[in-house]
Chain A
């Protein structure tokens, strides 16, 4: 009988090294009980390895894993009160759906295993397929069985390893909402691993962005998006326009700081500047850029080089005099659209700009053509 613990999930200095490389470097993370937490990052960033260490399927090279006050680092997978929804679902093909879902409960000697399993299947709206075998179900249904199989055990932490990857777009969107609903209904701590930043931002209460085994930034989706603290996060979540700039002098009384970029004098808010750095990347999100002057000092002239109509919005590529193209996204709200070759003015408000250390690579986190 596994004793139930509850409390926050804490990773302390968690490290995993293999002979050739280090997958996870001294990760420190506090995941509040009952929250929906996302581990976000590109493939190879260490998020799946971290998940497997929490599940007990991978032994850490160093560090600790705690749930509340209990150190579970040394325990084996089948001794932990942690369950996983696998990426490939890993449903037992030789057992019925009901037996699959009841598996964990039966291993613990639960007398009401079958009844609880039925409840769990109802929770994911698959009450009628209990007698079928996994091979007879569609991908989406299999995914929900995998979820039921993990949830029914009411673990301290529920781990989800990119569970929606194999589903088509519409189904994925549906399941994202479903998962959120189920999590708030059942109240378990969910740790969701994904490389899809939209998915993470949609579902999670807080996100940890990982890169190359390190934690880049931790925060709620809005903060991460509007105030990225590294070029990696700026590029990985959504898109960013980064302009080389240098800080001029000290902040004024209203909190505005002036920076020069390519001969233009621009405004940035003081709290968006990293402390003590002179050379910066000035970042602005494409949807914060407007075509046409706004009446503030943040203006740049350029020529439209590409127009993409995406239904909800129009994306423009505007070529600057110094050669780089900026991305501007404008909602199709009826206002006039620019054409290729047109000379335009781009402007934005000072509070929409963020600044990052210029020593970071400008293309960190940009999605590569695979």
Chain B
């Protein structure tokens, strides 16, 4: 009992962590379920049927494909736009810094319902049809702010003396940027791009406002599934995504640790 008391904090922390991870575990477990009926909420019996045929449910893999497409494109564009803004904010003095900061902060502070619905009204007025393009535009819009925050945090840690040293050693501005500034800012840019991708891939509310029947993204598919009947493949894809991302992160950490040791 004493041991528990002195480690109270650790227990509380781990309990909260468990609370956060249980649904993921449930999703994984229920990907092996063979449900009766349309819904996958109660455990019936163990089956790997869904795993052997992950695209079996109609439209699910198309939805994943579309989400990947939009996610990658939106992430790329948002990263470029956001990185440029972050450098401007972090490196230069200019007029209008306050309003710029405010405008970048606002999309992070606005409820998705408002952003999605307002874009819908804009597109209606401009005559832009709902669908892929509208979704892409919307995703780029709300991702830019997050990229700015991620890159700006990194740029703030860059020692300006390093760029002076490069110039002192004969590198012109372009060489300095390519060989010193960019490599050092890269982790922040990568973090921003990753963040943008996951925000885009996982978005439902804003996408829903601007989608058409021919542009079903994966979150929209899942939503429909929750209303009409969820195939087990949803759990399978969800678990695959989870494992892939986890592997990706651990691989990254492993590689960076190896690089440190090798030198």
Q: Which residues of A contact B (CB under 8 A)?
A: 2, 55-57, 76-79, 82-84, 86, 88, 90-94, 96, 103-104, 107-108, 131-133, 136, 149-150, 153
What would 8 more interface pairs be, CB under 8 Å, given A84-B164, A131-B263, A153-B169?
A57-B164, A76-B167, A78-B170, A88-B159, A90-B161, A90-B164, A92-B180, A93-B162
Contacts of B168 in A (CB 8 A): 55-57, 77-78, 82-84, 150
Contacts of B56 in A (CB 8 A): none
Q: Which residues of B contact A (CB under 8 A)?
A: 159, 161-162, 164-172, 175-176, 180, 183-184, 260, 263
* Cross-chain contact A78 with B167 (CB below 8 angstroms): yes
Contacts of A79 in B (CB 8 A): 170
**Whole-angstrom distance from the CB of A266 to the nearest CB of chain B?**
52
- CA of A104 to CA of B165, assembled, Å: 10
**Whole-angstrom distance from the CB of A145 to the nearest CB of chain B?**
12
* Cross-chain contact A107 with B161 (CB below 8 angstroms): no
* Cross-chain contact B184 with A108 (CB below 8 angstroms): no
* Cross-chain contact B175 with A107 (CB below 8 angstroms): yes
Contacts of B169 in A (CB 8 A): 78, 83, 103-104, 107, 149-150, 153
**Whole-angstrom distance from the CB of A106 to the nearest CB of chain B?**
9
- CA of A44 to CA of B172, assembled, Å: 30
* Cross-chain contact A92 with B171 (CB below 8 angstroms): no
* Cross-chain contact B175 with A86 (CB below 8 angstroms): no
How many A-B contacts are there with CB distance less than 8 Å? 67
**Whole-angstrom distance from the CB of B188 to the nearest CB of chain A?**
13
Contacts of A153 in B (CB 8 A): 169-170
**Whole-angstrom distance from the CB of A234 to the nearest CB of chain B?**
35
* Cross-chain contact B263 with A132 (CB below 8 angstroms): yes
Contacts of A55 in B (CB 8 A): 168
24 contacts between A and B (CB under 8 A): A2-B170, A56-B167, A56-B168, A57-B168, A76-B167, A77-B164, A77-B168, A78-B170, A78-B171, A78-B172, A90-B165, A92-B166, A93-B162, A94-B183, A94-B184, A96-B263, A103-B169, A104-B169, A132-B263, A133-B263, A149-B169, A150-B168, A150-B169, A153-B170
* Cross-chain contact A108 with B170 (CB below 8 angstroms): yes
Chain B residue nearest to A136 in the complex (CB): B263
* Cross-chain contact A104 with B263 (CB below 8 angstroms): no
Chain A residue nearest to B161 in the complex (CB): A90
* Cross-chain contact B172 with A84 (CB below 8 angstroms): no
Contacts of A150 in B (CB 8 A): 168-169
- CA of A103 to CA of B171, assembled, Å: 9
Of the candidates A76, A91, A103, A153, the one having the most CB atoms from chain B within 10 angstroms of its own CB is A103
**Whole-angstrom distance from the CB of A151 to the nearest CB of chain B?**
12
Contacts of B176 in A (CB 8 A): 78
- CA of A84 to CA of B167, assembled, Å: 10
Contacts of A90 in B (CB 8 A): 159, 161-162, 164-165
Contacts of B172 in A (CB 8 A): 76, 78
**Whole-angstrom distance from the CB of A108 to the nearest CB of chain B?**
6
- CA of A293 to CA of B131, assembled, Å: 104
A78-B172, A153-B170 known; A92 vs B263 contact (CB < 8 Å): no
> Within the complex, which residue of B164, B166, B263 is in contact with A103, where a contact is CB–CB below 8 Å?
B166
* Cross-chain contact B170 with A86 (CB below 8 angstroms): no
- CA of A200 to CA of B220, assembled, Å: 73
A93-B184, A131-B263 known; A84 vs B170 contact (CB < 8 Å): no
* Cross-chain contact B165 with A86 (CB below 8 angstroms): yes
**Whole-angstrom distance from the CB of B169 to the nearest CB of chain A?**
4
- CA of A150 to CA of B164, assembled, Å: 13
Chain A residue nearest to B259 in the complex (CB): A133
- CA of A272 to CA of B57, assembled, Å: 102
- CA of A150 to CA of B180, assembled, Å: 17
> Within the complex, which residue of B159, B161, B162, B170 is in contact with A104, where a contact is CB–CB below 8 Å?
B170
- CA of A56 to CA of B165, assembled, Å: 11
